[in-house]
Structure 1
Amino acid sequence: MSLLKTLTARLPRTRISTRKSKPTTSRASPEQMRTPDLDKLLVIPVSKEPHEEQMRSYHFNQGQFLARQERWDDLTTLVIQEDMSRRASGGGMPIAELLCQGARSDVVALAEHLLIDGTPEENRPLKDAISALEEILGEYPNNHIIATIVAMAHLDIGYAWRGTTSLPDTPARNLEAFELHCKRAGQVLDAFCGIELNSPLVTSARCALLVGSPEAPDRAADDYEDLIDLAPSQQRHIRALGHHMLPQWFGSYATLELEARRTAARTQDVWGDGAYTWAFFDALLVDPKSASVLDVPFFLEGLRNILERSEDQHNANLFASFAAVSIPKAAQRCTDDLLASAALESIQTAAQWILTDHLHELHPLIWGHAMEGFDNQARIASIDALFKQGQEKANQVFVNFFGDQMLKGNALIFTPQGLYVQRA
């Protein structure tokens, strides 16, 4: 165990890349240069660290701390409690998964550093770190929590080799490493059935490992159905279903639409029609042409149902930035598909009523993430840079939608009861 500590002791506390992203620049037209005074006319609280981010950070750090202290029994007990309770953040991230992410984060961060920023001769520390994890597994052979942590560490390292897309342009050496890590991850989890254990954590891990299975096209929809039925309130799983139903993974556009409808029908008591919307959330950004099969009224009704059920401002920021920032960027990639383009344009128009009716606190980190298409693998310069980028983009959106009011000197006041325009 001391070997794992030694290998990871010098790692940074966050998984943020130090690689600088390219700044985006645009030349303002004369009309755009007549910008309103946002400091005076835009009244909305700005949260640098929303409750969602605090909650995610707390449990991630908790898992990381317990792993660094080698308190595996305490970690196991805590993860099982959270897994059984189905507790999740407001953004739908299961607390059990956050704890496990933290527990494996040092080894995964080491892998990402060596494979992305390092040199080939540094591979020895990575092999030693993986061996240290495998030793822990050997000490807890019947522990499904430790097995999940180790299996998902292998999968994360595999993705560091391969990248997260399914496009066939990955070097053969990287694909081979990815397949080896997937194979080992499958071996680690083979002894455990998430359904028998009543464990969304294990079931989710087994769904994630479908990427390395030749049987995935035949199993994916059923496996995700089992997972979502175990934890219907955790929308992360519904989003993953939609992503994996895309043609580039295990399905087709028709299958995606069918499974989105089926999931919405099974989760009506939790989401109304919202599961249909969650299933398409990531799919539309990964493959905008999937909008060609989208039932737009159903999607928008599901969006309203989600926002009506949301207890904080996370989802209001998520969907406002999704409609106003991410979807327009995605639409640029499918201009040749008229049906998909029309559907995406309809989603863009929803940004106005989301801002007007539901947004009353700005979370710039979400808006910064929206600019990256909500890609969790996007590499950013720093959290501060993401925050600044997100706030600037949100301000631009406010000007686009409400600039005519502010140019008249009218103040926009965003309240829990909706947008209030104070006349000059």
Structure 2
Amino acid sequence: MFRFLMAQKARVPHPSLKIASDFDAADAVLAAALPDQGSVNIPVANVSADELIGQDVIELGRDLARQDRWADLSAKMRAADDARETAPDGMPIADLLAFGARSDVVLAVEHALSDYRALSDYDLLGGISELEDEMRAHEDDPMIALVVAMAHIDLAWAWRGTATNAVLPPLHRSRCTAHFDRAADILPKCREAAPNNALVAAVGCALLAGQRKSNLRVADQYEQLITLDPHNQRHMRAMGTHLLPRWFGSYEELEVQALRNAARTHDLWGAGGYTWVQFDAIALDDEACARLDIEYFLQGLHDILRNRPDQQMVNMLAAYCAITIQNGLGGNEKADAVRAQIHDAANWLIRDHLTELHPLIWAHAAQGFNNSVRINSPERFAARGHRDALRAIGDLFREELRSGMDVTFTPTGLHLSGH
């Protein structure tokens, strides 16, 4: 089930990892897959998992809450939102601060719900009640109220879990509903006090998952969020997923809103506004993929790189085209034809734009960029991404490698050389 990143943060462990560490296992696997004659040489970015997801910011939010420095937390959240600051992976800094501030409460409930013995000993309402007390003590502060609303959303998902509606216990269903409803009660005061705050708008979109209305104006809410924070593609991607028929939309509305988004954000993203809305939706849904305007989507890839030519973006788009879009092959003939054309885009993305490897991005690409995936060993996870990336590059340059050429990526571009 699709969950918003804000609600997902409690699901993912974030141990430290320096990517430029040991990749012997990945290289051993690669050796059997690539030709013997040539070699692939590419710098590996020395980026840790903590740096990628802003773990230091999460820890700051946690420390400020533990020290009861709520006014300082609020000020930092406001400043970060005003500046639209993000971590390297695109997560808003204000969101990460808020997650840290509520993480002790949320993680304790998640642990209790995962362990029956812990559940019998744990006061499931104690932590959220303390957060509610802080909100009442700072009744005019929308940022603290927002932290409490986000905690309720996280707890709703904790009670919801991964069970289907048919087997979800009545207690879990009622607690999930109650937490979503409480978050919906809190949010209006945040909107009134901070109407131009992007995080407030994002929480409003995250609340859609708990709504039981049939006439939700999903696209309207996302349009407001995207207008407030048009540089962050995550909002556009989330809108596309929520417009799938499995949630609140239809294939027709998905296409219309993708085109509308491209028009609204054209000065910033060009055709990329269309590509971002379709990005995750077509990876999740064969019919959405089959209906894609492939030429406009591919034009969007070019326009995205004109706006964001950094290696973080190049690796994400290349990994998406090389790996993510291939995950759904075999279910729909028309969709497969579209996926093949998107896969071909990995050729020019890697040849013309790649200068360094970001293994964590490639590892996440294999999981469909699903942030709720649990990572038991970050070292093995990153090594898998390293292996997948080198295999994709090796497949792309197979003929050159077979002819004995070395493929070397440098900051100034690709170099092919003989022995």
TM exceeding 0.5: yes
Question: Which residue does the alignment assign to 1:357?
Answer: 352
Question: Which residue does the alignment assign to 2:225?
Answer: 227
Question: Which residue does the alignment assign to 1:103?
Answer: 101
Question: Which residue does the alignment assign to 2:5?
Answer: none
AA matched with 2:306: E
Shift of 1:301: 0.8
Q: Which consecutive unaligned segments of at least 5 residues does structure 2 have?
A: 1-9, 16-27
- Paired with 1:394 and 1:224, the residues of 2 have a C-alpha distance of 33
AA matched with 2:168: P
Matches within 5 A, 1:390-405: 390-405=385-400
Deviates more, 1:308-317 or 1:350-359: 308-317
Shift of 1:170: 5.2
Cα distance change of structure 1 residues 16 and 51 upon mapping to structure 2, 3 Å threshold:
closer
Question: Which residue does the alignment assign to 1:145?
Answer: 143
Give the secondary structure class of the aligned counterpart of 2:415: strand
AA matched with 1:388: A
Matches within 5 A, 1:13-92: 15-16=13-14, 33=32, 35-36=34-35, 41-49=39-47, 53-54=51-52, 56-92=54-90
Question: Which residue does the alignment assign to 2:18?
Answer: none
- Paired with 1:48 and 1:322, the residues of 2 have a C-alpha distance of 21
- Paired with 1:151 and 1:401, the residues of 2 have a C-alpha distance of 47
Question: Which residue does the alignment assign to 1:171?
Answer: 168
| Higher relative contact order structure (alpha carbons within 8 Å, sequence separation ≥ 6) | 2
Shift of 1:68: 2.1
- Paired with 2:417 and 2:202, the residues of 1 have a C-alpha distance of 48
What count of residue pairs does the alignment treat as equivalent?
A: 396
Q: 1:277 is matched with which residue: 244, 251, 275?
A: 275
Question: Which residue does the alignment assign to 2:314?
Answer: 316
AA matched with 1:276: Y
AA matched with 1:398: I
AA matched with 1:215: K
Matched, 1:368 2:379: no
Q: Do the aligned partners of 1:357 and 1:417 also contact (CA within 8 Å) in 2?
A: no
Matched, 1:409 2:404: yes
C-alpha root-mean-square deviation of aligned residues, in Å? 2.8
Q: Which consecutive unaligned segments of at least 5 residues does structure 1 have?
A: 1-11, 18-27
- Paired with 2:275 and 2:50, the residues of 1 have a C-alpha distance of 21
Cα distance change of structure 1 residues 168 and 419 upon mapping to structure 2, 3 Å threshold:
farther
The C-alpha deviation readout for 1:247-267, integer Å capped at 9, x for no partner, is 111101111111111011000
Deviates more, 1:342-351 or 1:113-122: 113-122
Shift of 1:47: 1.8
Shift of 1:90: 4.9
Q: 2:266 is matched with which residue: 265, 268, 271?
A: 268
Give the secondary structure class of the aligned counterpart of 1:248: coil
What percent of counterpart residues are identical? 39
Q: Do the aligned partners of 2:359 and 2:386 also contact (CA within 8 Å) in 1?
A: yes
Shift of 1:194: 6.3
Give the secondary structure class of the aligned counterpart of 1:357: helix
Shift of 1:67: 1.7
Matched, 1:346 2:367: no
Question: Which residue does the alignment assign to 1:326?
Answer: 324
The C-alpha deviation readout for 1:50-77, integer Å capped at 9, x for no partner, is 6993572232222222122221100101
Cα distance change of structure 1 residues 68 and 408 upon mapping to structure 2, 3 Å threshold:
farther
Shift of 1:101: 1.8
Matched, 1:161 2:159: yes
Q: Do the aligned partners of 1:108 and 1:153 also contact (CA within 8 Å) in 2?
A: yes
